[in-house]
Structures are given as C-alpha cells and as structure tokens.
Amino acid sequence: MCGIVGYVGRAEAAQILLEGLRRLEYRGYDSAGVAVVDGGNLETRKCAGRIVALARLTKKRPLSGCFGISHTRWATHGKVTDENAHPHFDASGKLALVHNGVIENYQLLKEDLVRNGDTKFRSETDTEVLAHLIGKLYDESCASTVDVYQKKARLLGAVRAALQKVIGTYGIALVHANVPDFMIGARRGSPLVLGVGKGENFLASDVSAIVAYTRDAVYLNDFDVVSVERDKFEIASLGGESGDHPVSKVEFTAEDIKKGDFRHYMLKEIFEQPDTVRDAMRGRLSVEECTAKLGGLNMTPAQLRDVGRIILTGCGTALHAGRIGEYLIERLANIPTEVEYASEFRHRNTPMTPETLVFAISQSGETADTLGALRESRRKGFRTLGICNNVASTIARESDGGVYMHAGPEIGVAATKSFTSQLVILTLIGLLFGRMRNLSTAEGSRIIEALEALPEQIEEVLKLSDQIKAIAKKYADVNGVLFFGRQFNFPIALEGALKMKEITYLFAEGHPSAELKHGIIALVRPDLPSVFIVPDDAVFSKNLNNIEQVKARKGPIISLTSGNGAKQLKEIANEIISLPDAPDCVMPILTVIPLQLLAYHLAVELGRDIDKPRNLAKSVTVE
C-alpha cells in the first residue's frame, strides 16, 4: 500500500522523486523519504508526516544527484516515526532500500543476522532487515577489489540470494553508493512498474507517479528482478530466466490525474460518473440483439451457456458491487450466484461444482486478498475472470479473461466512480447471461434503454449536490448514521455506511430495512439519523412501514426516493431527496451517488482530510 518511486537519468533526481511521491500519496501518507546518490555519497532525507513535510526538509537541506529512490509509507511494521520511515539501510549505510509489502519471516532473518554480529538496526521495520541481508551478502561477495561491472553483477546477485530467503510480499527498489547509476527493483505480490524514457528510466508502484515523464511502461510480474540504468534495463526472474516483457502505452495522461477546479479528488470523481458510466458500456450494447457484447470474457457461447453457478469475490466497495451483482445475475439470468469476501474465499474450502465461474472484482487489479482469491480459484481449476480498472494490473494479466471498467485513474481513497462502473459491468454480465437463457427481447431492450439513459440521469442527480450539502450542515453534529435498503438497495445501504465511515470517521451501519425490528431498532434515537433508500418500487410500502417505526421513536429520517415516493414521504421523512425513475436493476447506480455526496459534504463540514482519510490507503496490496 506504500508508494515507491525510483529514478536513474541525467536530471536532478530529488525533484522528480518528490513529484512522483505527491502523485502516490493516496497509497500511504504516514511518513516519507528520499535517498539520492551523488559521486559515491548516499544522502537521505526522511520524516514522519505528509509529503509536504519531506518537501520542506529537502528545501532546507537540498539533495543533489541524478539517481535515487523514494517512498511514502502506510505503516505495517513499526510505529509512525522518523526512524521507521523509508528508505532503510544496510549495516554499512551505503545501501538504501524502499519496500512495499510484508516480510513475514523478518524476525527469523533478523535473529540470524544478529547471531552473525549485525546489531546496527535503527528501526522497528521488516524492511530494514531485508536491507541488512542484501548488504551483508553484497559485502561478502566484494571482499576483494572489483570493477564497476562486477559490482553491478554482485549487487544483483545479492538481491536474488536475499529474496530467495524471504517469505512474504515485496515491491522493492534499491541503490548503493558504490555502484553508480544503477538501480534494482523486484516484486512479489506487490506492484512495480518500469517507466522507459530517453536517457532516463523509472521505477514506481503505480504509473501515475511517472506518467508526466513517460507513457511507456513495463509491468513486472511476480518474481521478476529488474536492473535499471540510464539507457538500458534488464529483466529476469528470481532464478535468472529471461521472459517476455512488452513495453505498454499508458492509457491516461498527467492531466487526467489533476484535480482541475474541484476542491478534492473525491468530488471530482463523483462528478465524473456520467462519463465513466458511459465509458463502461461504450461498444458493449447490442440494440439489435437486445444483449451485451463482452468479448473479453474469452468464452464461447457454449461455454457461457454451461455456466451453472457464479461466485463474485472482492473487498470493501468491490464486495458491495458484487452483492448487487448477485441480485442482478439471479434476477436477469436465474443463475445461482454467491458473494464471497476475498480474504475468506482464499483461505477456506468453498464447495464448488465444475460449472462454477468466478469473477474477481478490484478497482486497482492489485488488491492482495482479491488476487489471492483469484489464484486459489485458478489453482483448483475453475475459470476465473477479472473486473478491474487497470488493463496492465496483475489481476488482469493472471485472469482467464474479464471486463475492463475504463473509469480512468481514481485518486480519492474512497471509491466512487469505480463502484458505479462495476455496477454497469455487472448489469451487462447479467444481461448477457439472461439473454442466453430466459430473458425476452422486450426485457433486454428495456434494460438497454435504462442503461443508455443513465448518464443524463446521473447529471440530474449531481444537481442535487447543494441540497445534500444543506442536509449535511443540518446533521453535522450527529454521532452516527444508520442506512437501510431492500433488495437491490440493501448493498447500497452497506456502501453508504462505508463511505460515511471512511471519510467522516462517524459510526455508520448498513442493514436490510426489514432487519430494523430484529434488534437494530434499539439504536433509534433523536440524535441518530436513519437514511432510507426507498425508490418507488415493489417493496416501497414495506419500506414505508419501517420508516414509520423509526418516526414513532423520534428518529430523524433522510429518504432517497423516486416517482410518487416523495408525496407519500412528505409527512414522514425529515429530508427527501428525489431521484429520477429507473428500473430496479439500474436504480442502485442512481441511489448511491447522493450517499457519496452526503458523506463528502459531511466530511467537509467536520474538517476531515477527504482524499487522505486517517489509517486508510487506496490500493490494499498487503494482507
């Protein structure tokens, strides 16, 4: 979940590294550091806090040199302190290393190093142990004087030997003061990308860090080790075997990851949803056949018809999308569908039949638990497809096929536009399977019409932002919020609660509306508002009864409704947010947006750090 940036070239490295870290700060912002080599001298600046604190430090104490590494941290091992900030060093202080991941056997490795006389540990981190191990192996191999070419080979050999002792995950970059203009990177279970420039090359945990300098990238595979110089690079496996590593063109530009006129990335991404929803369905609807076209699934019509069960797996917001996908696929295609927490699925023996199809859902395509679930499914011989936003991600590369979201970069830690894109794709999947089974052309046509109407309807919903802002001001002093919904909108209640928790830090829970009387009603009180998602649908009257129960106990009610719902709620709800009419299978895409805005505006009122909420990071690449 940490951010890594490395540079080898002819420009001053420090500013390039700092700018890259700013673009990666959504991946971690507990502490940050940079190490630059100049003329055989390794200099480092690092401190706890945000990138701005590191920038002040480097301005006060400038760094000079044309190659180096940098890091922004989300703490796993060790408290948030200057000492625990990366980079970390070997015993000699000449090797600097940055790391994303978890070295599970670091304590055993450290004990072995101490037994052999190494006691110069300065931090509480697992990363420093790896730095010491690599440094020890390198120093032992360079006991006699060697030339610079031998030094490069021996440093690379030391990295390979050390990583073969490691149990856990890593994305690393390292430099050594005695090995000029030479940087090494490696990955296992944590993303690392090589940026290819002219007379300069880069390493990063995400291409957004380097897209301002190059759009040519090589995405490393697990167990790849790359040696990087100004004008060349070499990639091989941990065992030394070469493989195919094509140079890819990054789809987005540096302009795409700017906030523009918006105050926060989250607000920008909420308002991008008319376009991202449109892009998610672009070229994928067949009006003539009243179905969806998803060639990326890499399955023949016969294979699609043979699917008898579907499992959707993911984490957080992606899991909530999967829960709606369960309703969608079962309603449209009548295929038994289950949703599994990726973290549970990968570690338990889920009964699966031969006709089972698994979908792994992840915005980044790098989520550790979801990637683990994908690998476990494929290991057992089940066809496993990905739904992700990064065409070069590990999930995209390791799955048997899938569907890309085309939502563009999402920088805000709280997922918004990626969620609605996932819902569009799951609707397309339900439509495709449904039309191959029992769904009529008339029903297929109705769903396509509803999908095509969504971008304009979302624009109408976004016009409610000021109304929702006023509601947020009114309820800014509450201690928590309850969310309720039924059927397709029950998972939206879960997602609304998650957004509220993530960026306001308030207590929030999502529940099926009918569960109110089974214990939850004990929480109802005048200072705890309940948000009811009650479109004018087949269960509206049931929802209305639940709202009456809360009203009778003086609980404030914020309602999201459509059609004639507003008239019936007029005398009951304290706040009414009226939405456009839509079929229930696409209604969640409209109902979630006011909840995103409610969480956003309430967080602003409370003075929260919207794009960098405490304890969270965007891409969860560690367990």
Percentage with pLDDT > 70 across the chain: 98
Entry pTM: 0.88
Q: Give the Cα-Cα-Cα angle 206, 219, 22 (nearest 5 degrees).
A: 15
Contact status, residue 103 vs residue 109, Cβ threshold 8 Å: yes
Say which DSSP state 251 is in. Answer: S
> Could you tell me the two tokens for 415?
């997922």
Which residues, listed in sequence order, are joined to residue 155 by a DSSP beta bridge?
none
Residue 392 is predicted with a pLDDT of: 82
Specify the residue for token string 């099926």: 512
Q: Which domains does the chain have, with CATH numbers?
A: 3-257 (3.60.20.10), 259-462 (3.40.50.10490), 464-613 (3.40.50.10490)
Q: Enter the tokens of residue 315.
A: 């984490």
| CB neighbourhood size of 227 (10 A) | 19
**DSSP state, residue 220:** P
- Angle in degrees, CA 142, 145, 151, rounded to 5: 50
In whole angstroms, what is the distance from residue 538 CA to residue 462 CA? Answer: 26
Phi, psi of 96 (to 5 degrees): -120, 140
Average pLDDT of the chain is 92
Catalytic amino acids?
A: 2, 618
- By DSSP bridging, strand 356-362 and strand 383-388 are parallel
**pLDDT at residue 622 above 60?**
no
How confident is residue 145, by pLDDT bands cut at 50, 70 and 90? low
What is the rounded CA–CA span in Å between residue 514 and residue 535? 15
Q: Is the pLDDT of residue 561 over 90?
A: yes
**H/E element, 455:** helix 441-462
**270 band by pLDDT with thresholds 50, 70 and 90:** very high
Residue 274: cis peptide before it, omega within 30 degrees of 0: no
511 strand-pairing partners: 484
Q: Is the pLDDT of residue 618 over 80?
A: no
Residue 253 confidence (pLDDT) above 80: no
Alpha-carbon distance of 499 to 364, in angstroms, equals: 18
- Which contiguous run of DSSP H or E holds residue 568? helix 565-569
Measured from the Cβ of residue 570, the count of other Cβ atoms closer than 10 Å reads: 9
481-532 confidence digits (pLDDT tens): 999 999 999 999 999 999 999 999 999 999 999 888 898 898 889 999 999 9
Q: CA-CA distance, 227 to 172, in Å (whole number)?
A: 12
pLDDT at site 143: 66
For 163, the token pair is: 């990583």
User: What is the pairing mode between strands 31-38 and 41-48?
Assistant: antiparallel
Answer whether residue 304 shows pLDDT above 70. Answer: yes
Query: Residues 492, 493, 499, CA angle at the centre, nearest 5°?
Result: 85
Instruction: Please report where in the chains the tokens 């700060």 appear, as a residue.
Output: 25
Query: For 158-204, how does the pLDDT look when each residue is reduced to its tens digit (9 = 90+)?
Result: 999 999 999 999 999 999 999 999 999 999 988 999 999 999 999 99
In terms of Cα–Cα distance, which of 594, 584, 547 is closest to 569? 547
Cβ atoms of 561 and 517 closer than 8 Å: no
Gyration radius (Cα) of the chain, Å: 26
Query: 365 CB contacts (<8 Å, ≥6 apart)?
Result: 386, 388, 389, 390, 393, 394, 395, 396
| Dist. CA 261–CA 277, nearest whole Å | 21
* Bigger pLDDT: 620 vs 224: 224
Q: What's the pLDDT tens digit per position in 127-138? A: 999 999 999 999
Who contacts 238 (Cβ-Cβ below 8 Å, separation ≥6)? 160, 163, 164, 186, 188, 223, 224, 225
Least reliable range by pLDDT among 397-401, 444-448, 541-545: 541-545
Q: What's the gap between Cα 222 and its chain centre?
A: 19
As a whole number, mean pLDDT of residues 20-47 equals 90
Q: How is residue 227 written in tokens?
A: 């040696």
Largest interatomic CA distance in the chain: 87
